[in-house]
Structure 1
Amino acid sequence: MLHYNDDVTLTIAPDNDNPFLQGPFRPTSRQWTADYGDLQVIGDLPRDLNGIFVRNAHNQIHEPMGIYHPFDGDGMLTAVQFEDGRVRFRNRFVQTTGFLAEQAAGKSLWPGLLEPAKASRRGWGAIGAMKDNAGTDVIAHNGKLLACMGQGSEAWRLDPQTLETLGADPDWSRLVRDGVGPHFKVDSATGDMMFFNFPEHPPYMNYGVIDRNNRLVNYTAIELPGARWPHDLGITANYSILHDLPLFFEPEGLKRGEHKLQFNRDLPARFGIIPRFGKGDEVRWFEGSSCYILHLSNCYEEGDEVVMDGCIMPDYKMIPVGKQDGGRQAVYERIRANLDKHNNKTLMHRWRFNLKTGRTHEEYIDDEVTEFPVVSNDFAAARYRYSYNVLYVPGNWLFSGVKKYDLETGAQQRFEYGPGRFGSEPQMARRDGAVEEDDGYLLSLVADMNSDRSELLVFDAKQIDRGPIATVVLPERLSVGTHACWVEADRLHAERPVA
């Protein structure tokens, strides 16, 4: 039966003019439950598509304390479960400590990214002042979901089918006092999960491994020259790749408690390659061209080299968003300019780190602006062929379509959602019994502003340019979001046995 729990009251002021609380970003208070047979499906759902698609999004509840940034809102997970040609749906808030405290108070208790000085309570994140909103990434590990926020946070576990928040991970989060960074990676061949964090205090980075049974089996300090602002890490079968990039808080200002990001164009990017279960003194550092990196596609080993593919920002433009001159509208425009990937171009790129010579080789894969690259879970940390990236609406923080790269032949496919339709990070779901890497389905959650509804599109991953083969219509138009994950049916309760 289709129903919703409207037990969260939005207190955002009716005259709040922040564009990231309106239109495609409009938050919802409703938490829906739709069982098998409740949702409209256009087309035929494949019977060999079995598992759960989960997407995270920032969904603000209360009138913000200061200027709202689109990464400040409370985490809301959307889950669409496929089973034998049927589908069911849930969306739930991640009930972090901050969420529960603000629910009790009925108002915002923490500021966001732009005005951390307004904090009067202890907070989370690399600036130590934010509410732990758990609104950025989500993955599955050991039969549970793990959600966190982009600046680093507690390790929040949830049930993948009910989306019930189970709390901070009881097995190891107390051992990792600086939390988990915005992205963590699971090697589906072993069930290991690799993560990092980046506190403002020495050693400025830590690296860890959680095994397939959810035990912390490695946690080591990574000594950096100072506080940094990394976003992702890479994994191969034997190594992890850590990022020390030249975008970080101005050091002298940081001593005064000021958080002013600056891009140090004269410094190289550094990449630390560490054995998966290695210690900090085993890291080998490689230098690359000065850049910033948000998201990687995949990494793997090839002979003496570690190969890392991802979206490079070679000419990062730092716009001082926090400056209040020009009024609120000018601040909103500066936020939009910083998030616009056509302004800060993100291009598919390849790095090769030679473990024998210590040299780095770089090359561009494509000259079109794309981001949020994803690969099949079964090919993470291994040699792969296909990456699926999002396309951007120029001038805004909105995704206009998806692009498929064949990294073996150079062929490309694309599908654009159309005017007024905006997507999220896609996910590749291999069909039951798949043999080839792209033998399955590409899934993308789309907000349609024309019909005021959200849809989950199902593509044949071999031919995404032909458009969706099925569309699941959700009960309500949800706010646009970013990261997602795919949980295969045989990983809903535990990691697969090691072959």
Structure 2
Amino acid sequence: MIDIHSRAQRTCLPSDNPYLNGAWEPTDTEWTADGADLQVIGEIPRDLHGVYMRNGHNQVHAPMGKYHPFDGDGMVHAARFEDGRFSYRNRWVRTTGFLAEQAAGASLWPGIIEPRRATRRGWGSIGAMKDNAGTDIIVHAGKAIVAMSQCSEPYRLDPFTLETLGPDPAWAHALGDRGISSHFQVDEHSGEMMFFNYHEKAPLFNYGVVNAANELVHYEPIDLPGPRWPHDMGMTEHHCILHDLPMFFDQQSLAKGQHRLKFHRDVPARFGIIPRLGSNRDVRWFEGQPCYILHLSNSYELGDEIVMEGCIQTNPVPDLSAYPKEGYARMLALLDMHKQETRMHRWRFNLKTGQTHEEDLDDEVTEFPMVNGRYKGRPNRYSYNAHMVPGFWHLDGLKKYDLKTGATQSWRAPAGCYVSEAPFAPRLGAKDEDDGYLITYMTDTVNRRAECVVLDAKDITRGPVCRVVLPGYIPLGAHAYWMPMSDAGGVQ
């Protein structure tokens, strides 16, 4: 069975914007497909049981002003594996903003580059954007939760049908207009979800905890020296790590309503260690070298230390003096992780001495790190990252790090093919940390098609175990999650 579920009313026409073309070209179709009618290259593993979900920005209407790849409408793609069988579906996240623009037949909100164009009440930390819910996805309390990186309402989805269930009825209202930022963290052992949000007006930052029964049990404002734009948060067994990083808006420009990010190279990064149910007075702040951090791999407790591993950027705002102010060259440069000097890094925060120790783990540019979810917040050995294409926000392969021995493995997608963030999926009965699979979507710009790709996590150099050709072309996206069947109460 291969069915078209629906097609959106779409006005996003061909554009010279590089993030609306090629591997980023949006789709207008929602599909429902059974693997029995899809082309399978190789053999689908019979010991792979669960759902691979990937969120991403898929623009429907011609943008209001300049389009940034974080602006598009949220669309989730889900691949279900069970006893060697495969099924696929993709659905837009039907947020209030998405539904309003579908009714209007046009964009009603600007994006992240030109918030001054806003004429309506908006969402996000700027308060001017559409709530697109297109960045992150995690399963908590049996339902998927999605959000955008600039903070949005916590929308829930059915993890099997991808039906939008609306903002979480148990606790979304308690957050007011602050919502939830992407990179909320779920502890698979306790079932708790830790999250944060941020804003330009006080309180500038809030930290919260939702328990396994989906009850908001903790929500605390955290003092910061000024408005910040954090992107991720660390989680250990008993603590979380909050980020106060020296890339933030120029304060004089912000007072005039202008949003110009500046990297303050003489301001140290600050990391706040907070007990899981701690308050502002419990935060212990540690300093580190000036940097920005998009995505962490993992954090854990080791003796007197809190260890945090992830991808550091030591040049997050490259020199743009040589780039013209018009066109897309500046945006491409700002999103170039090679220019941002991105690499795997380790921070050690000593709770006894108050000192921070740092070290690079690699000199190659990789990002979008993932770990085995059972080791999230606990000491782990492996991290699965993505290779980044110079000059573009394209992922063209995967790299496995053995953080114990320093050994690495790499797999590169064929020329003209680009992948998504690849979560780890344990095989049934797995004993070892890397006993399982990496799953990703691959957008093939040469053959104009998309595939779901499965690799053996123990040796990714062997290439895909199987590839399933999907019914439609899908653009590159943001974050992904692997949901074992047990996380949703069994097979449905």
TM range (shorter): over 0.9
Cα deviations by residue, 1:376-397 (Å, 9 ceiling, x for unpaired): 1111000000000000111111
Residue type at the aligned position of 2:80 = Q
* 2:154 matched residue in structure 1: 155
Residue type at the aligned position of 2:101 = E
Cα deviations by residue, 1:283-318 (Å, 9 ceiling, x for unpaired): 000000000000000000000000000000012224
* 1:288 matched residue in structure 2: 288
- Contact persistence 2:134–2:478 (CA under 8 A): no
- Comparing 5-14 with 450-459, greater Cα deviation is found at 5-14
Cα deviations by residue, 1:420-449 (Å, 9 ceiling, x for unpaired): 000110110001111100000111111011
* 2:401 matched residue in structure 1: 405
Runs of 4+ in 1 over 2 A off after TM superposition: 315-321, 323-327
Residue type at the aligned position of 1:348 = M
* 1:141 matched residue in structure 2: 140
SS in 2 for 1:403: strand
Q: After TM superposition, list the pairs within 5 Å mapping 1:301-316 onto structure 2.
A: 301-316=301-316
The offset of 1:471, in angstroms, is 0.7
SS in 1 for 2:364: strand
* 1:274 matched residue in structure 2: 274
Matching residue within 416, 427, 432 for 2:412 = 416
CA–CA distance in structure 2, aligned partners of residues 77 and 410 of structure 1: 34
Q: After TM superposition, list the pairs within 5 Å mapping 1:204-223 onto structure 2.
A: 204-223=204-223
* 1:431 matched residue in structure 2: 427
* 1:97 matched residue in structure 2: 96
The offset of 1:38, in angstroms, is 2.6
User: CA 1:317 to 1:325, structure 2 compared with 1: closer, same or farther past 3 Å?
Assistant: closer
Q: After TM superposition, list the pairs within 5 Å mapping 1:328-407 onto structure 2.
A: 329=327, 332-407=328-403
* 2:471 matched residue in structure 1: 475
The offset of 1:256, in angstroms, is 1.9
* 2:64 matched residue in structure 1: 65
- Contact persistence 1:346–1:371 (CA under 8 A): yes
SS in 2 for 1:57: strand
- Contact persistence 2:318–2:339 (CA under 8 A): no
Matching residue within 415, 439, 442 for 1:443 = 439
The offset of 1:213, in angstroms, is 0.9
CA–CA distance in structure 1, aligned partners of residues 459 and 389 of structure 2: 23
The offset of 1:228, in angstroms, is 0.1
* 1:107 matched residue in structure 2: 106
Over the aligned positions, Cα root-mean-square deviation in angstroms equals: 1.4
- Contact persistence 1:263–1:318 (CA under 8 A): no
* 2:462 matched residue in structure 1: 466
SS in 2 for 1:37: helix
CA–CA distance in structure 2, aligned partners of residues 131 and 171 of structure 1: 23
CA–CA distance in structure 1, aligned partners of residues 251 and 368 of structure 2: 30
CA–CA distance in structure 2, aligned partners of residues 420 and 475 of structure 1: 19
The offset of 1:36, in angstroms, is 4.6
* 1:497 matched residue in structure 2: none
Structure 1 position 492 matched with structure 2 position 491: no
- Contact persistence 1:202–1:226 (CA under 8 A): no
- Contact persistence 1:336–1:396 (CA under 8 A): yes
Report the count of equivalent residues. Answer: 489
User: CA 1:440 to 1:324, structure 2 compared with 1: closer, same or farther past 3 Å?
Assistant: closer
* 2:300 matched residue in structure 1: 300
- Contact persistence 1:262–1:318 (CA under 8 A): no
Cα deviations by residue, 1:113-144 (Å, 9 ceiling, x for unpaired): 11100000111112111001011111111111
Residue identity over aligned pairs, in percent, reads 56
Matching residue within 433, 442, 452 for 1:456 = 452
| Runs of at least 5 residues in structure 2 that lack an aligned partner in the other structure | none
- Contact persistence 1:319–1:334 (CA under 8 A): no
- Contact persistence 2:323–2:329 (CA under 8 A): no
Q: After TM superposition, list the pairs within 5 Å mapping 1:1-20 onto structure 2.
A: 1-14=1-14, 16-20=15-19
Residue type at the aligned position of 2:293 = I
Structure 1 position 192 matched with structure 2 position 188: no
Cα deviations by residue, 1:462-486 (Å, 9 ceiling, x for unpaired): 0001101111111111011121000
- Contact persistence 2:32–2:88 (CA under 8 A): yes
The offset of 1:159, in angstroms, is 0.3
CA–CA distance in structure 2, aligned partners of residues 345 and 473 of structure 1: 35
* 1:74 matched residue in structure 2: 73
CA–CA distance in structure 2, aligned partners of residues 13 and 131 of structure 1: 20
The offset of 1:345, in angstroms, is 1.6
CA–CA distance in structure 1, aligned partners of residues 102 and 333 of structure 2: 32
Cα deviations by residue, 1:347-377 (Å, 9 ceiling, x for unpaired): 1000000001111000111110000100011
Structure 1 position 257 matched with structure 2 position 257: yes
SS in 2 for 1:197: strand
* 1:202 matched residue in structure 2: 202
* 1:37 matched residue in structure 2: 36
* 1:241 matched residue in structure 2: 241
User: CA 1:397 to 1:433, structure 2 compared with 1: closer, same or farther past 3 Å?
Assistant: same
Structure 1 position 175 matched with structure 2 position 174: yes
